Structures are given as C-alpha cells and as structure tokens.
Structure 1
Amino acid sequence: MDMLKGMNDALSYIEENLGEHIDLKEVAKIALCSEYHFKRLFSLLSGITITEYIRRRRLTLAALDLKDSHVKVIDVALKYGYQSPDAFTRVFQNYHGVTPSAARNTEQNLKAYPRMTFQLTITGGTEMKYRIVEKEAFKVAGIKYEVDMVNGLLTPDYEHMMSSISDEKMKELESSSTSEPRGVIHVTANYSESAEGKTAFDQYIGAAVTQAPSGNDSVLDVPALTWAVFEAEGAWEEVEDHWQRIYSEWLPSSSCELAQGPEILASKKSEIWIPIKEK
C-alpha cells in the first residue's frame, strides 16, 4: 500500500508542476523508490512512459490555456517547456491535429489526456508461485536485437526476431546453457526512455553461461543479483498476463522494488526472473 500511495503522491507532484521543470529523480524520491524502478513500473502499469505521460498532460493543459484569446502562443510554449513557438507548434499539431492558433476556435475538436491515478483492484485469489534466488554473476550469450517501442509496438516485433533464428541455432543455444536459468532464455536488458517518451532496450535470445563462448554470439554480462522467480505456465498470452500481475499485484504487496538489471523469461521451466532489492 505504501508503494501505491507513493506512486499517487508522485503523480500529484507532477500535476502541480506541469508548468515547471520536472526532475524525475525528485519524482521517484516522492514515490519512495529508485528512478529506475519508478520509470519501469510506471511504463509497465500504464502502457506509456512517464515522459510521454507528462508530455500528453502538458499538451492537454496547453490547449485549455489557448482558449483564452489574451494568452500568447509563445507564452504557452515557454510555460510547458518549449523554447520556440515553432517547436511547440510542431508537437502540438502532431498531438491535437491542428495548430495552436486553430485551437483557439471554440468549435475545434481537441484531445484531452486525463490525469492518471493508480488504484488497487482485487480481481480474485489466483495464487502466484515464486521463490527468491541469490545468484552470482553470469553471462548471456546469443542473438541480440536492438528494439524500439513506439505506441506499444516493438520494432522489430517478437515474431520477426524468433523467425530469423534457425532451428539449428536454437538447438545450439539450448545445448550451450551451463547456468541457471537453463535452456533458451529471452532477456530484456538496458531499458531506457528518451526525452520524447520512446523506449528502447536490448533483447537477447540466448543461453545463460559461466564463460563467454568463442564465436560471433553477442554477450551480456549479468551482475550478481537477487531474483524473484515466478512460475509462468501456459500460452504466451497467459505468460504476459502473469508478467503484468507481478508488477501490479506482487510488487505493491512486497517489501521489494525492481533492481536495475535484465528481466528474463526462461522457456525450459516457463519461469519469469525479475531482479529485485529491498526497499
């Protein structure tokens, strides 16, 4: 519950400071967690990045400000962090579909992105089986894709990533596994958010190994971490649902937060590995 209150306190702080510079380190401090944890959790729970949320809220309020004929476009632009009318006009038109000047028309249709709040919803007692694992450093060796996510869509998409790996290569990766989690694993690492609200990360499809293999495989060094390991049986849609429940149900009720590190889907045992640390 403390986590839920912290997230909503952070959103209140953002709302009160949309016309000012917003330091996400300060926002995370109000949410009682690390900046990495706040950004990642917000993105997973809301479906958009925190920077994109702030941008949409500012453009919503900017449209309301422009309804006052005495307010200059340049003043609205500066208020919401744009250094020139041209930059503001471009972003405003991309979002609302019209220029700031046209938005003054009282009959003009505009977009509104409401303020967000987080609530705890009890949907039924479906148990989650997990264990806590203290694991020494290891490596992931395999195929690496640099992935961008825009409006919830991956580029390249997961189907493309998987289909581009031959059956022979998948067998090779599976046989090269020398460390837990065993078999072919899917690893999301180096998650980042741009100032424009876009997300990017490295996706590895490979195997956990103790020593980097010779050859052309990409290698990710994973430091010693504490992991929450969840059983995740079922089809891909069920795994995705289970993954979502980890962030929306298990984390808020635990004494842990996300640690900065990769997230792993192990296919051999159908497990989700999440790096955690004590708050």
Structure 2
Amino acid sequence: MDHYLLETLNTTTAYMEEHLLEPLCLDDIAARVNISKFHLLRIWKGATNTGLMEYVRRRRIALSLGDLLHHQNSIDFISAKYSFGSERAYNRVFKDEYQTTPAKWRRNPVPLNIMDRFNTGLLGRAAEGLVYFRSMSVLPAFSIAGHQMRINDRENASSLEATERAVHFFYHDRLRIENPVHKDVYIGFTSVPEPYEGSTLYQPSLQISTSSIIPPDMQVRHVQAHKYGVFTYIGLHRPEELSALTLQEVWKYIFGTWMPAAQIDLPEHFSFEWVNYAKCSKQYCECDLYFPVSVL
C-alpha cells in the first residue's frame, strides 16, 4: 500500500499545479483529495511550512515572472491569466512577495527567490510518518525545567521508557510549573555524556523564564544561543506515540548522513524535540527536531 501521507501530498500538489490558471478554492482541493479541509490544511502546513492557498498564490506569482520577461502582454492581462482578479490585486501580492511591482521588475529584472513546485521527493519516510529538513535556524539562549533521567539507548528502543516518561511529564509534572513560557510546548532535551557509554540524559521539560516558578525537585538547564539544523516530522497518530522506534530512520539519516556533512564541532553534544500540542490531535503529530551546529 502506498504511503498515505505521500499519496495525499502528491495528489494535492498535482491537482493544484494542473489548475493554477483556473479559480481554485480549498473546498475544491479537499474534495479532489477526498479528506476534510481541516485535515488537509494541517498535513500541508506540516509538510511544507506554507498555507495551502498561500502556496497557490505564491506559485501563480512565480509563474507570472515568465510572462513579464518574455511577453508584451499588459499587467492587467497577466493578472487575469493567473486568477488574481484585478491588476490592483496582482500588484499588491507581487509587492508583498518581492518588495517591488510587476512593472518595475519587468523594466529592471533582478534575481528573486521564488516558490517552486513542492517536491515530495525531498521528504523522508519515518515509519508511517514523514520527515524533512526544514531550515537552518538561530535560537537565542533559553532555559528549561523538568526531570532529568539516564536512558539506556539500546533498551529504550524496545521499552520506550523515554516516551513513557515524556507522557507522564506532560500530563502530570508539567502542570506543577507556574508561568512557563509556552504551557503547551513540550521540549524533550537529550544530552550525550562524554565519554558515551551507551546511555544519554533525557529531560522532559518546558521552557521557563525568570517569572516562572519551578518545583524544587526539578532540574533547570540553561542552553546557550546556537545555530541549529531543524527537521520536522509529521505523522497520523497522537503525539504520545512518538518514540525512538518511530524515529529510528530519522536518527539514521541525521547521524549517518547529515551530521558528517554539517561539519559540527561543539563542546557539548545535545538535541531536543519541540512539540507544540496546539498543532496536534488524536490523529496528527507534528514535531520539530533541533540539532546544534555551532555556538553563537
């Protein structure tokens, strides 16, 4: 059986690309893919980091650049061709995207970063979910609080101890932290002791600030500002089912392929999962995986 998420994303992309010069609406797209609008929006946003109709709009603008360069058609004609409704609307969205107008760019073309066709080939499979490299990001220093524990990596692959501890923290211990930065954002922080002897330190936690009140039995960790490689995982299951078993293909790629190419040189080795429960449901999980590249 085909991978459901990949099939959904491929069908959605193909349908939108084939009908970019026609009126398109969310109802039409969802009906073509045969899933609810809400579910489709969540899957698309999770996989592309772009809204569905935003993608349509930006793809139309990108395709219109060829008309501006190679045809003498009026701006009004081009706006109608790409379903912008009016020259005024086309000018507005073009300027929002490229900080210039179509007429100015036509007279003096300069390089532009465009929204290209979404390529599902850039997505990797992780069990029944998908993962992709989202961005290189800079995070300022932050602090977390939670219970740190030692996890045997080999045993955790079968016992799923880290997942059980994470679930317990989120539904019980998390509520004991007063005034966290984001009460619904779970951070699973993993640090690797030196020398590595088969176990890591795992800390289910929340981000805290100076106004947070932390129970005395919890550990506080301060993380310096770093540059990170950020991967996003999406899956059609509850976030509580996210585990080392689910992500084993992700770890294989990150540690075996991405990290050697990234030329990472850090005094401390760690990573963390960032799960915003406001984006998740009983049928959907979205998780960002942060891997530091350098200290800032």
> Normalising by structure 2, what TM-score?
0.46
> Normalising by structure 1, what TM-score?
0.48
